[in-house]
Amino acid sequence: MGRHGTIAGRKSAQDNKRAAIFTKYSRAIIIAAKAGGDPDYNASLKNAIDKAKGINMPNDKIDRAIKKGTGELEGETYETGSFEGYGPSGVAVIVDVLTDNKNRTTSAVKNAFDKSGGNMGVPGCVSYMFERKGVILIEKADGIEEDAIMEVGLEAGIEDLIDADEFFEVRTAPDDFLVAAEALRAAGYELAEADIEYIPNMESAPKSDADERALIKLIDTLEDNDDVQKVYTNCSVDLS
């Protein structure tokens, strides 16, 4: 193929991955905008827009997604959902989706579980092993002090502040998440990530290297699906 062919192939793969990520964020904006297209009065929409801008999603794509959500432009009808199951070695997995065809998505998620040696279960089969928490990440930098974050956050209802390597991780109850995020932004903090997530309260680990590889493949397969928004596990091993 030659060097130029290799570069072209790599660029094409990167462009495809970038387009897939934009698709996921567009869908999140569409859903949030159904409650109103003005981010000043729709905190969920503001959060979705901030996340999209964080991956350098073009403004015209953001505007188009908002208009689809408010009905100004025609578009697909999406619904949220989640699937639960067990990956290799019984590691718990939760898959959040946003889809315009639930049958297609259900089939794809089930197939991913089956091919990994796991199995998709019924609602509630693993979610009891997790708690829903607002999670806000603030990147460590000169001038950013843990005590100062805590001072702002306590007034906004944060539950915990964790020193996590390159970030300070703020955790809140789901109902306090948007208030805490806005308070931290207003105090001048740039939020590297902000979302409501599943946090495991019971952990598990692959029993072999083969199961660990199969679990990584399961997660990769799910995350490559345009309908999948996020994948959570209670795996105690770093899979990155």
Distance, first Cα to last Cα, the chain: 31
pLDDT reported for residue 174: 92
25 and 226 in contact (C-beta within 8 Å)?
A: no
Instruction: Compute CA 17 distance to the chain's CA centroid, rounded to the nearest angstrom.
Output: 16
Q: For domain 2-70, which CATH number applies: 3.40.640.10, 2.40.50.140, 2.60.40.10, 1.10.10.200?
A: 1.10.10.200
Alpha helices in the chain (DSSP H): 2-33, 43-54, 59-70, 102-116, 146-155, 177-186, 209-223
Q: What is the pLDDT of residue 121?
A: 96
CB atoms near residue 21 (< 10 Å): 14
The burial of 141, by beta-carbon neighbours within 10 Å (0-12 exposed, 13-18 middle, 19 or more buried), is given as exposed
Domain 78-240 belongs to what topology? Answer: Alpha-Beta Plaits (3.30.70)
User: What is the domain partition of the chain in residue ranges?
Assistant: 2-70, 78-240
Residues with pLDDT less than 50, the chain: 1-16
In this prediction the pTM is 0.81
